Structures are given as structure tokens and as C-alpha cells.
Copies of this chain bind each other. A is one copy, B any other.
Amino acid sequence: MEPSERRIAEGILFTDEYQLTMAQLYYRMGIHEKLAQFDHFFRTYPDYGSHSAGFCINAGLEWLVDWMQTAHFRDEDIDLLRGQQGRTGKPVFEEDFLQWLRKNGSFESITMRAIPEGRVVHPNEPLTIVQGPLAMAQILESALLNQLNFQTLIATRAARIRESARHRPVLEFGLRRAQNDAANSGARATLIGGADFTSNVGISHVLGFTPKGTHAHSMVQAFMALGEGELGAFRAYADVYPDDCMLLVDTINTLESGVPNAITVFEELRRKGHAPVGIRLDSGDLAYLSIQAARMLNDAGFDQTTIVLSGDLDELVIMQIIDQIELEAPRYGLDADELVNRLTFGVGTRLITSQGDSALDGVYKLVAVQEGNEWRPAIKVSDTPAKTPTPGDKRVYRIYDKRGFATADLLTLADEVPEKMDRIVLRHPTKTGILRELSRKEISGIEPLLEDVLHEGQLVRPHPPFEEMRALRKADMERLYPGTKRLLNPHIYHVSLTERLWNLKERLVASALE
């Protein structure tokens, strides 16, 4: 695309056609500036087929807000819309509406509350609440979902991988297999969710990280083609990067060629006073090879070197590798924990595209419309009760049990204050008669999750620093029960409604079906 084309495709027209046809209809009915409230939430955790998540990590907000603060209908955008024709050749959009869009078509009247990036979140609770004139709040839907669905999906996967890796370093290596520019937003999400670094150079610099990486098979191949072989390639690398020497050892044969050649070069480095960094294994039986490579490195006196594992890793593969090392390392005279503690995991495709479940099912639903001074809750009834969104202006609280673990998230009406309730009744969001009660003495804390982000288009406070988002994720993960974090068949975390909210929903469903 040309730069002028990018401005079209990545600006305010980064939306679905029906948002614009609906906006024109609202304009024509005179309700386009009526205040409306939309909730953004997801319905189910990612399900990767053989495993599924029991929590998500919220992400994407800052980039969405950045986009909202610049996107607006420019003359060029209006001209394109003016040229659109319906079935009979008449323009789809009429001039008065286009003039209104040109003048008012920005997000400067949007007010937004959201759960901060980095926090653990769960299905069916509003992660983002948008209030604004109906037409522009509607047009926002597509871009909002596009940005928040994806980054939350990827941050979640990163957190799972970090858990499986027992908090050993995780490097994001997925640029080449990412879904195009999602390499950048995805890398950002992995850094919030659990990756320590990424190999992606540009986004590392933008976010203030050091990009990570050493060399590929092609370097060894080039030296082989020029008659210098793997050893020549390793020597050259050690010469140029004597203090950052990490060698990829599987171009020819890991244990018969790669590791011995690496040790030769490491010995040369040591004689020159440099400490070699380690090796990378990118193919084969990574558990077996890391045990054998560790033995060879130890025998040569390099027991402090790192072993980076890469090649189609995900949380299950990493769990399996560590499990196999725990079982097999002692048979070869190695301490399994020592070996695990020198591992680093380079994770590519399966993280950056969330292979197995490549989309989060986030939605954006109208929950209330202002009529005069009154907010009228809106409902969409579904044959599947779980798909009927909870109506009205709501708040979200997290309830911690006596041990300090998160035990439930509670959705309330805006004017309810759970901190002041003697006992808290947690209603199942869809099933009648399923409820749970908590008395004050079972609760160690109640925490509101939503924060003000935008007030009529203006940032309420600056975006949080990156490290703050990572700290939030870390703290929330520590307060999740291990059963909820489990990689396979996690325990289902409770997201509940207060009695009043539950009653409102019941009443509206009944009246919609009358």
C-alpha cells in the first residue's frame, strides 16, 4: 500500500460497512447523538483444542486509545463514502450525514472505563465500557474489538507459556509466522503477558526492550557453501561476539557436530578470557538433546552456559520437555532442577498466532440508552441463555478470600457498593437458583476492577508504564488458585451477578419475549 492508502485503511475507515449504514440511520432518525452505553466482554476462554485457558490477561487498551485519539473522518474518507452506490446506483450516504460525519466523526465525545492492561480477567464481565453518542460509539465497535480481542488473546497465551516454563526466561520469536503487522501488537501483548524479550527489533525499541537473537542456520550454511564448515562459522561468530556467544548447534547434527564444535569454540573463548553464553537447540527431541548437550558442556567445564530451546514450542510441549527432563536427567547423572534452571524458551508461531485458537470471542453489546435523563437498559435475547448479555450500567469487583486468593468476580449495578454489604450473594449469571453466599469474615478484600480511561475523549491519566502492566499481571497471577492456572481442564472461576442485577436481567428478558 502507498502511504495515502494506509491512511485510508488504518484510519477511521478501519471499520465494518454496517457501522456506517447504521450510523446514517441513527442520524436520519435523530437519535445519533443520544447517549448509549456499550459493554465489551468475551464469552469464553480460549480453547486450544487439546487444552484451554482458565483465565485471560487483559491487553490492547493503550493502542486502541492512541488510535481513537487520532482517527476521524477526513475529507479523503468522506469522498470515498460519497462515491459508494447502492443497488439502484443512488449514493448510499447522503450529503447531510456526510457533513455531520466530517464535523463530528471523531471519538472526542467518548467516555471509557476499562480494566487495566495486564490484569487477569474472566468471561462475561465488562472489560471496557464505552459511553457516547450512539452513532460514534457504534462506529467504534469494529476497531475496539479488533485491537482488544487480539492482544488479550496473545497476552493470555504468553502467561500460560510462562507458567509452563516455570518462570524460566521466555523469548518471543514469532515475527515471521505472525499474521502480518500483528507481529508488533502481538509482541507487545506477549511482553505484557509473560515473555521477557522478543526478537522483533522495531517493537523492542519502541517499547524500550533489548531485542534478542544470535544466528540462524543460514549462517552455518553460508560458511559450509564457502568451504569453511560449521566450525568456521562458530569461530567467526565467536570472534565478532566474544561476550555474547550463543551458538545454534543443529544445522548438521546436534550431538555429533554442533555441540562438539561449540565446545571447541567455547574453549578458545575461555582461553581468551571470555565467558561463552550458551547454545540453542531448534530441532529433534529437545528434552533428550538438552540432557546430552548439558552433559557434554559440563564435562568441558561449561556448566554455567544457557541452553535455549526453540522450534514449535507451546505450553504443553514445554511442560512435556520439563517433565521428561525431570524423569530422565538423573539416569544420566544430571540434577534435573539444575538443568531446568539453565533453560530458556524461544517461542514462535504457537504464541504469536495463538495456534489452536486464533481469536478471542470478544463482543461489544449495547446495554443501555439514555432517554431524557434516564438510562434505559437494553437487552438482546438469545436462544442460548449464556449469550444474553447482562444489561445496564455496571461495575466489576474482585473478591479475595481469607488466604488472599481471588475467589470470584462480582458484577453489580453502578450504584451498588459491595464493600458495604454484610453478606454478598453471588448469583450464577444464567442459571436460576445457583448461588453462593460469602460473609464478611470469609473475605479479605474487595477491589473494583474498572478504572476511568477517557472522559469525553480526553485521557483521564497518562498510560501506565510498561513495567506497571507487567507487575499487575504478576500480582494477579500470584493471587489465582493453582487450579485456575492449570494448563489442562482448569478449575472454573466464578463470575457472578448481585441479586439486583440478576433480577434486572430476568425482568428484561421476560419483557423482550412478551
Contacts and interface: CB of A to CB of B under 8 A. Distances in A.
Nearest to A377: B225
Interface string A138-181: 10011001110111000000000000000000000101111111
A385 to B, nearest CB: 13
A373 to B, nearest CB: 15
Given A9-B202, A358-B179, A512-B224, A382 B25 contact: no
A493 interface: no
Contacts of A349: 358-359, 361
A110 to B, nearest CB: 16
B369 A180 contact: no
Given A1-B63, A205-B13, A225-B377, A183 B22 contact: no
A177 B149 contact: yes
A506 interface: no
Interface string A400-420: 000000000000000000000
Interface stretch (A234-242, A421-429, A464-472): A234-242
A379 B146 CA distance: 42
B134 A146 contact: no
Contact of A142 (B88, B175, B277): B175
Contact of A175 (B2, B15, B206): B15
A437 interface: no
A176 B205 contact: no
B201 A15 contact: yes
A106 interface: no
Interface in A39-56: 49
Contact of A16 (B18, B213, B358): B213
Most B-side CB within 10 Å, residue of A149, A176, A217: A176
B21 A241 contact: yes
A210 B84 contact: yes
Nearest to A184: B9
Interface in A75-117: 80, 84-88, 90, 92
Nearest to A355: B358
Interface in A105-133: none
A180 B177 contact: no
Interface residues of A, number: 126
A17 to B, nearest CB: 3
Contacts of A181: 10, 180-182, 185
A180 B146 contact: yes
Contacts of A369: 222, 225-226
A211 interface: yes
Contact of A222 (B175, B236, B378): B378
A510 to B, nearest CB: 13
Interface stretch (A28-36, A262-270, A328-336, A454-462): A28-36
A225 to B, nearest CB: 4
A211 B84 contact: yes
Contacts of A18: 199, 213-216
A16 B291 CA distance: 28
Given A21-B215, A224-B379, A182 B180 contact: yes
B16 A175 contact: yes
A380 to B, nearest CB: 5
A14 to B, nearest CB: 5
A368 interface: yes
A380 B251 contact: yes
Contacts of A211: 16-17, 84
Nearest to A360: B177
Contacts of A88: 243
A222 B135 CA distance: 11
Contacts of A85: 210
B226 A176 contact: no
Contacts of A222: 26, 31, 36, 134, 366, 369, 378
Contacts of A21: 213-215, 241
A474 interface: no
11 contacts: A10-B184, A15-B202, A16-B213, A25-B215, A34-B226, A84-B210, A142-B176, A151-B180, A177-B361, A283-B387, A349-B361
Interface of A: 1-2, 5, 8-11, 13-22, 24-26, 28-29, 31, 34, 36, 38, 49, 63, 66, 80, 84-88, 90, 92, 134, 138, 141-142, 145-147, 149-151, 173, 175-186, 199-206, 210-222, 224-226, 236-237, 239-241, 243-244, 251-253, 277, 283-284, 349, 353-362, 364-366, 368-369, 371, 376-384, 387, 512-513
Sorted from nearest, which 6 A-B pairs have the closest CB atoms? A17-B213, A18-B213, A13-B202, A179-B182, A181-B181, A358-B358
